[in-house]
Structure 1
Amino acid sequence: MRDRIARARGDEGAALVLALIVITVIALSLSALLTLSDTSVRTTVGLRDQVADTYNADGALQAAINNLRNSSYNHNTGQHCFGADDTLQLTNFHGGDSAAVTCEADPKKVLIQCPSLSNCNRPGNAILTLGKVAGEDGLNITQPNTGSALRVHGNVFSNSNINVVKGVLNTNANVWARGSCSGTIQSVGTACNIGNAANELGDDPNYAADTTTPPPHRDLPACTSRGTVVTFQPGTYDDAVGLSAMMRSSSACRDSTWWFKPGTYYFDFRNSGTNANPLLPSGTNVWTIDNGTLVGGTPTDAAGNIIAKPPVLPAIPGSCDNPIKNASAVGVQFIFGGDSQLTVNKGHAEICGSYHTNKAPIAIYGQTTGSDTPAAWTGTNALAMTTVDDAGPFVNNPGWIAQGDGQSATWAKTSASNETGTVKVSGYTPPTAIPVGSVLTAAKLVVVHGNSAGSAQDNLSVRVDPTNGSPFTVVVPSYGDAAMHTESIDVLQGGVGTLAQLVNAGGYSGAKLSYSAGVKHKGIESLDTLRLELTFVPPTLRAGSGCITNTPYTGTGNASTCAVVTAQSNDSLFYVQGTTYTPKAVLDITLNNAEEQVFRFGVVSRSLWVKVTGSFTFGGPVIEVPDDSPGFVFSLYLSAYICSGAGPCSTTGTPALRSKVALVDSNPMAPSPGHRQVTVLSWSRPG
């Protein structure tokens, strides 16, 4: 009986264990099922939110595209995608959400577009010569032998004649000449002796310079070490002799890279000629590169990548960012005024212009307008005193010295002893600041004085003490009579003295003048006025002049007739990555060992002379104007951001949606709102 009871109790324990196992398994399964259900619910909610964000972002991008379709935005300077901003805020765009769309132009697309010659970012010709000068060739070409060809990509137009002295002129386009053509010309079509027949391709495009006022005056950078990078800042340069001395084989910084940083440069040399600056070393206004390598623009490495600064003696071409390859290219514009000239002799040079959507990338510009306009503070506008610092014995009306009206400050000397009386005044402040780089051309000290018992033995003088300058003293004539005398004393000091230095540095701001009279007799010393007359020439954009515009040019420059740019040595390399525009000046280029096109984006000049040496082996076009891009497509990146509430939405972080779209215009220079074609190039959700 006991055994039966014991066995029964053992069976009941086993059943309990089985029951607990079953319950545990069911509980675990139910827990997992509930967890999966919760995860599924949360995933569904998150997916629903993501879909909603994508839906809202899609709508926001559509709104932005419609905004662009109805705008005239084409990435011109100063423009923004959405009117005043590059971000379009869409408040309460859908339900309780808002949106923001940012816009960024694709910087990589180079568009060459020319719907008309007046609406074009390239010249209409590869070569255009504008001169109509008797005895001067419009285009003169000399090849090393009769079978060699000067290759050109684009139209050639001469408003006078074309003279192929030796060799062949070869172009893939048309050739026109209003005068005669001589020598061998290969083209799609050649028309010579067309006279005055209307043809807009022969008109001056009248390009404007990048500036209407001279940029800031610059001194030459330090030249101390051989084989370095010598850096120039954009600005006005007036010293051709100094530039040439720096860039010759005997200079302290020879074998260097002459890096002209991106920007506008105005070369108006005043070493000689009209309104020359005596403070500069004397010599011609010709800047000669005889050594080293000039790089103008944003520097690049051999692979075309932008770098912080060029290396020493970089390989050219390819040392600067080329506007024919990069729509973000920021280069230089070299403007030449007066009779300023550039000669590339034994050195090398590569000059890169800046890409523009609405104008040609002009790298070299010959100034066509403007002239020196002297400022004259003379006569009633002369500089006068404002303060009597020390009247000395001139106690009677010393303030009248400022007026020059016949009323004088006086010193009544009652003894016959030898005495010196001095009156000190200050002021002489210019009415406007004098620009740095100004040239002082005249300086006069006007003194009106007399003595009631005058003697030719009186010792009269004026000490001139300019602010921040070295003082100097001038002698005033004395007379043996009782009359008042007006003196106009030259204080220019040959254009190299204190006043000239201060004016040139833009540092003249006023002066103190001291009139001293050494008198050995009784009498009344009278001083009616002390005035300072200054005449100076401030920096200005000057049209080409002198030998630059004298005619005819016959192939060899001299003091009478010259070319604004000359490349003349077999040892030099010269490349212009941009348009060259010198409509009233001559270009004279000798080509040797070139590795690619020498003039990119065309040449416009009064006359062009091209001489090719026997070692020239480049088989492509030497002068070209790029072809128009196929279609006028302008690309943009749009990024949509979504936020809850009324906004505005932040545009940082990862956007909800991103798209690249293209705007297609029949005239990209003047888009027609509402008539623009929009093509979606990509549509993606980042992340």
Structure 2
Amino acid sequence: MNRRRKDDDTGAALPLVLILVTVIAVVLGALLSFADTSVRTTVNLRDQAASAYTADGALQAGINAIRNSTFTGADGEHCFGASDTLSLPGFGSGGAAAVSCTADPAKVQIQCPSLSVCNRPGSAILTLGTGGEDGLNIQQPTGSSFRVHGVVYSNSNINVVNGSLDTNTAVYARGACAGTIRSTPAAACGYGGSNLGADPGYAPALTSVPPRQALPPCTKAGSLVTFQPGFYDDAAGLSAMMSASSKCKDSTFWFTPGTYYFDFRNSAALRPPSLPGGDDVWTVDNGYLVAGTPVDAGGRIIAKPPVPAKIPAACDNPIDDAKAAGVQFVFGGDSRLAVKAGQVEICGSYRADRPPVALYGLASGAEAPVTGTLTPGAATGDFTGGTAAALSKVDSTGATWAAPGKSGGTATLTATAFSPAVTPPAGTILTSAKIRVTHSNDHGASKDSRTAQFTPAGGAPIPLTLSAPSDGSAATDVTDVTSQLAQSVYDGTFGGGQLSYAVNVKHEGTELVDAVQLDLAYTPPALRAESGCTQLPYTSPSACALVTALNNSGNRFYVQGTTYAPKAVLDVTLNNATEPIFRFGVVARSLWVKETGSVTFTGAVIEVPDDSPGFVFGVYLSAYVCPGTGTCAPGGTPVARARVAYVDGDPANPVAGARQVSVLSWSGNR
């Protein structure tokens, strides 16, 4: 029998081998499990990606199908012909797909990213008045043609008195049409369709009244007269400057780029002395008005316009230059512009997201009259207790002075400040200014004498009226100083002043100055909606139009930009027109156009570029993906969703394949 020696370790390696085999087996098992999980995850991710790609492609197919149709979301229509589901069997590697469609009841207007898309009105002419006057009135010689490039839409009627109205696209009127209208399709009168005629509601380029500007010097004929952006309130001054009798007649009047607010106050009953009276009509009857960045004959920007300016094409046109920096003329109240024997060109500024509005009539806003009582800030002199607080109110506790003896004596009191918390801005109309002095004497007599005066800061003294109170009674004397303070308030320089009070009594007793107060009422400049005669129905020559213009071989008026005056009327007379008058469209309450003389111009008098947006309709699209190559029915949670808007130049007559597409949102369930 073989015996093992004590130092023989044969067989000891077996447990080590078993342990090693077990560890290797566990590690290999884990590795194989991880590899299986990784493979499964990769397959799942690949399937999800394929499903997502298929869903995205399906949405794009749905978007394109509607783009190439005439679907507008009207009642009874379906997105994809006879159905609101687009079936896409075997559409992609992810399987079959289906797209469901629901019309979006909200209609919006797309804000466009560039000039070549749609930052302009949807119509060449849009009138917003709904009755009591013609929406569009055209008077011209028999046989004449008034040509428009773009949609014409009146929210009331269209009255073509003679000749014809011709446009390259559609004409709509919610009311009746009279006269000859040529359009494609035929004019839709008594129209009750889409909201193409809604007010686009463009906002003005300012939200508050800018600083008032004085008129620039006008001393030399044939010169360059330069205006700066700001607030102008003197129509009479502007008209005098731009008349044939002006010292600077035949000049070029350059309105540098920026925003101008015209709210004329010449008709105000309480205007200051420096503001001449008259109506609120700015008349251009001589010279050359250029508003915007000046350019030369080749369209290149120059430092200043020449004298005389060559109109039109004297300023940088936003139709031609996406960097054009122009003006916006904003009119408020009953302010109006009349172009007679002068020449005018107004160029708007290019905007990436809205039309280049060059002429704007305010539709909202009102004055905010201010009333207040100004009191002294300090008091000095012979009176005691004359603190500012004591003199600020009538309470029998003001400043007192006791006569030194039975023979009486004299005393003075000076109250200073009367400063407004906020200085009224330049252009403010003062409607009332009254100084109140409340005083008494416990031994008052008719032989006493009292004098007082108010001296505005930087101004001349204004005598005040004082009475002689009876024994112990108080008198409140009021002096109207409106006319004396109107100019400084209007100039924006009123800063308070001082009141001097002097008394001479012939007896013993106590003189009391109870209160000294300055009551002010004034109206600061404000952004005011079109008002006054501009709101009358425009049915006769006596009514007021925001703009009246006569265009002939010598007199010219051009707006290179959008004209937006939703509450006002435009009235233009054309005699041998040779150029478009309103570029980028007109939005107004009513538009009246008269053509006289021979009509030789064959182009459009009013136009909007071809790619104007119109209004859009929207849809909600949902994409579903099903395994296999068969058909797929919508159900469960969609893989991807999108909200899409379509733009038609004429919503009533969509053109398949010619629609602008805007994807408003896109999301997926990945």
Q: Tell me which interval the TM-score lies in, with the shorter structure as reference length.
A: 0.7 to 0.9
CA–CA separation in structure 1 for the residues paired with 2:492 and 2:438: 29
Q: Does structure 1 residue 412 correspond to structure 2 residue 408?
A: no
- What corresponds to 2:195 in structure 1? 200
Change (3 A) 1:629 1:345: closer
Query: How far off its partner does 1:564 sit?
Result: 0.5
**2:149 corresponds to which letter in structure 1?**
H
Q: Does structure 1 residue 430 correspond to structure 2 residue 430?
A: no
**2:607 corresponds to which letter in structure 1?**
E
Query: How far off its partner does 1:439 sit?
Result: 1.3
Normalization by structure 2: what TM-score? 0.73
CA–CA separation in structure 2 for the residues paired with 1:179 and 1:266: 35
- What corresponds to 1:160 in structure 2? 156
Question: Does the Cα contact within 8 Å between 1:163 and 1:183 map onto a contact in 2?
Answer: yes
Q: Does structure 1 residue 402 correspond to structure 2 residue 397?
A: no
Q: Does structure 1 residue 246 correspond to structure 2 residue 221?
A: no
- What corresponds to 1:385 in structure 2? 376
- What corresponds to 2:335 in structure 1? 340
Superposed counterparts of 1:92-491, under 5 Å: 111-114=115-118, 121-134=119-132, 136-143=133-140, 145-194=141-190, 197-273=192-268, 276-277=271-272, 279-377=274-372, 382-388=373-379, 390-392=380-382, 394-397=383-386, 399=388, 400-415=390-405, 417=407, 419-491=409-481
Superposed counterparts of 1:597-636, under 5 Å: 597-628=580-611
Instruction: Report Cα offsets for 1:485-534 as digits up to 9, x if no partner.
Output: 223321112xxx2x222211221223121112233333211101111121
Change (3 A) 1:670 1:460: farther
Normalization by structure 1: what TM-score? 0.71
Change (3 A) 1:371 1:409: same
Q: Does structure 1 residue 575 correspond to structure 2 residue 564?
A: no
Query: How far off its partner does 1:232 sit?
Result: 0.5
Comparing 561-570 with 357-366, greater Cα deviation is found at: 561-570
Change (3 A) 1:580 1:443: same
**1:563 corresponds to which letter in structure 2?**
A
Q: Percent identity over the alignment?
A: 52
Query: How far off its partner does 1:201 sit?
Result: 1.3
Query: How far off its partner does 1:435 sit?
Result: 1.4
- What corresponds to 2:620 in structure 1? none
**1:525 corresponds to which letter in structure 2?**
E
CA–CA separation in structure 1 for the residues paired with 2:509 and 2:211: 54
Q: Does structure 1 residue 537 correspond to structure 2 residue 501?
A: no
**SS class of match (2:186):** strand
**SS class of match (1:501):** helix
- What corresponds to 2:504 in structure 1? 518
Query: How far off its partner does 1:415 sit?
Result: 4.1
Instruction: Report Cα offsets for 1:389-424 as digits up to 9, x if no partner.
Output: x322x1355552234332121111144557432101
Question: Does the Cα contact within 8 Å between 1:149 and 1:169 map onto a contact in 2?
Answer: yes
Change (3 A) 1:553 1:277: farther
**SS class of match (1:522):** coil
Question: Does the Cα contact within 8 Å between 2:281 and 2:338 map onto a contact in 1?
Answer: yes
Question: Does the Cα contact within 8 Å between 2:256 and 2:293 map onto a contact in 1?
Answer: yes
**SS class of match (2:374):** coil
CA–CA separation in structure 2 for the residues paired with 1:453 and 1:441: 38
Q: 1:591 aligns with which of 563, 566, 574?
A: 574
**1:356 corresponds to which letter in structure 2?**
R
CA–CA separation in structure 2 for the residues paired with 1:671 and 1:345: 49
CA–CA separation in structure 2 for the residues paired with 1:224 and 1:669: 57
**SS class of match (2:465):** strand
Change (3 A) 1:168 1:274: farther
Query: How far off its partner does 1:467 sit?
Result: 1.9
Question: Does the Cα contact within 8 Å between 1:573 and 1:593 map onto a contact in 2?
Answer: no
**1:140 corresponds to which letter in structure 2?**
N
CA–CA separation in structure 2 for the residues paired with 1:577 and 1:333: 11
Number of aligned residues: 510
Structure 2: unaligned runs, 5 residues or longer = 1-112, 614-644, 648-659
Question: Does the Cα contact within 8 Å between 2:551 and 2:577 map onto a contact in 1?
Answer: no
**SS class of match (2:138):** strand
Question: Does the Cα contact within 8 Å between 1:110 and 1:324 map onto a contact in 2?
Answer: no
Query: How far off its partner does 1:276 sit?
Result: 4.5
CA–CA separation in structure 1 for the residues paired with 2:385 and 2:124: 77
**1:527 corresponds to which letter in structure 2?**
V
Change (3 A) 1:310 1:616: farther
Query: How far off its partner does 1:228 sit?
Result: 0.5
- What corresponds to 1:554 in structure 2? 539
Question: Does the Cα contact within 8 Å between 2:391 and 2:513 map onto a contact in 1?
Answer: yes
Query: How far off its partner does 1:273 sit?
Result: 4.1
Question: Does the Cα contact within 8 Å between 2:272 and 2:486 map onto a contact in 1?
Answer: no
CA–CA separation in structure 2 for the residues paired with 1:460 and 1:318: 70
After superposition, the CA RMSD in angstroms is 2.4
Structure 1: unaligned runs, 5 residues or longer = 1-108, 115-120, 631-664, 676-687
CA–CA separation in structure 1 for the residues paired with 2:226 and 2:442: 64
**2:548 corresponds to which letter in structure 1?**
T
Comparing 300-309 with 614-623, greater Cα deviation is found at: 614-623
CA–CA separation in structure 1 for the residues paired with 2:450 and 2:427: 34
**SS class of match (2:156):** coil
Change (3 A) 1:398 1:441: same
Query: How far off its partner does 1:615 sit?
Result: 4.3
Question: Does the Cα contact within 8 Å between 2:348 and 2:356 map onto a contact in 1?
Answer: yes
- What corresponds to 2:6 in structure 1? none
- What corresponds to 1:34 in structure 2? none
